[in-house]
Amino acid sequence: MGSGKRGLIAAAVTVVCAVTVLAAPGAAFAAPSPTPSTSPSSSTPATVSNKDLEAVRKKLEKLYHDAAGATDEYNAAEEAAEKQSAEIVSLAKKIVKGQEKLAELKKRAGAAAAAQYRSGGLPDEAHLMLSDDPQAFLDGTGRVLQGQRATKGLLAEMTRTQQDLEQYAKDASAQWQKLEAGRKAKAAAKKKIKKQIAAAEELESQLEEEEKERLAELEEQAAYKAQTAWLDSGILKDIKGKASKKGREALEYATAQLGKPYEWGAEGPKTYDCSGLTSQAWASAGRGIPRTSQEQWKQLKRIDIKDMRPGDLIIYNADASHVAMYVGDGAIVHAPRPGRTVTVAGAGTMPILGVVRPDA
C-alpha cells in the first residue's frame, strides 16, 4: 500500500478512534474487545438488564434498517421525479415548436387558397387548358406538377405535425401521471422514514445515560464480533487490488466528508445519507452513478469480493439498503444512520450483499 493511501487511512482512523480501533496485528479494522461494564452496586440496581438492552439494540437496528430502506424509496422517487419533470419540460418545448410550425403551415396553405380564389377559383390545370400559347402551356405544365407536389407535401407535413403534437400531448400526460404517482410514493416513504426514526429516538430516550453507554458497548461488541468473523475467514489475504485513478479521486472526496452528519435524502455538501455520499463521491471523480444503493447494486458492474479495490462500493443487507465505499485494509467509509456522522468502520461489520465497481 502506498504512503498516500496509508496517510489517508491513518487520518480517517484518527477521526473515528473512539468508535473503531485497529485490532491486534493480522486483524485489520477489528475493534478491540470492549472493556466490560462495571456491575452496578446493590444500592443502585440497573433498571435494564444487558439482555433487555440487547433486545433494544436489535430493535433499533431493525428500525434504522427499515428507515434506510424507506430512504432508498424516497431517493428513488426523488430521482424519478426530477427525470419526469425534465421530460415534461422537454415535451412542452416540443409542443410549443410544433404549434408554431403548424401555424406557419396553415398560413402557407391559406395563402395558396387565397391565390386560387383571386385567380377566379379555377385550378392551375384549367388555366393552362384555356391558354392559346402552346409554349406557355408546355412551360406551365411543369410548374403545375411542381405546385401539385408542393401542395401534397404541405398537406402531408401539416398532418405529420398534427400527429406529433398529439403524441407529445399523450407523452406529457403519461409523464405527469407518473410524476403524481411518484409524489405519492415519495410522501409515503417520507412518512415511513419519520415514523421509524421517531420510534428509534423514542426508544433510546427511555434509557438512562448509564444504559445508553452500555447500549453503545453492545453495539461495539456486535460490530467487533462481525468484523472479527469476516477477517478470520482470511479474506484480506485475497484482496490486493489497487485503486484506479477515478477510484482514488472518489475516495478522497468521501474521506474528506468524515465527521459530517447523516441526514436521510441528503447529498451534501453539509450532510449525507449512505448513497448520497457514494454517488457524490463518484460524481466528483467524473463518473455519474445511480442515486440509490439499490440501483447502484442493480446497475453497476458486480465484482467478486476477492477482486475488490479501494473506491469500489460494498452493498449491504439482503435488500441492498446500505452502501459504503471500500477504503482498503478491511475498512470502509460510510454514512451510517441518523444520529451518526460519516465515519470509517470495518467492512465486515454489516451483512455484505456484494461489491460493485462504478468505473469498471
DSSP one-letter code for 257: T
Q: How far apart are CA 273 and CA 275, in angstroms?
A: 6
Model pTM?
0.64
Give, for all 360 residues of the chain, the pLDDT tens digit.
444 433 433 333 333 333 333 333 334 554 444 444 444 444 444 567 778 888 888 888 888 888 888 888 888 888 888 888 888 888 888 888 888 887 887 777 677 666 655 555 545 555 544 555 655 555 555 555 555 565 677 778 778 888 888 888 888 888 888 888 888 888 888 888 888 888 888 888 888 888 888 888 889 999 999 999 999 998 888 888 899 999 999 999 999 999 999 999 999 999 999 999 999 999 999 999 999 999 999 999 999 999 999 999 999 999 999 999 999 999 999 999 998 999 999 999 999 999 999 998
Residue 234, by phi and psi: left (phi above 0), alpha (psi -120 to 50) or beta? left
Which of 99, 49, 67 has the alpha carbon at shortest distance from 218? 49
Q: How far apart are CA 49 and CA 67, in angstroms?
A: 27
Identify the residue whose cell numbers are 443487507.
317
Q: How far apart are CA 102 and CA 95, in angstroms?
A: 10
- In DSSP terms, which residues pair with 12 in a beta bridge? none
Q: How far apart are CA 152 and CA 335, in angstroms?
A: 64
Q: How far apart are CA 359 and CA 352, in angstroms?
A: 20
- What DSSP line would sit under 180-233, residue for residue? HHHHHHHHHHHHHHHHHHHHHHHHHHTS-HHHHHHHHHHHHHHHHHHHHHHHHT
Q: How far apart are CA 340 and CA 136, in angstroms?
A: 91
DSSP 3-state of 333: strand
What pairing do the DSSP bridges indicate for beta strands 313-316 and 301-303? unpaired
CB 5 within 8 A of CB 331: no
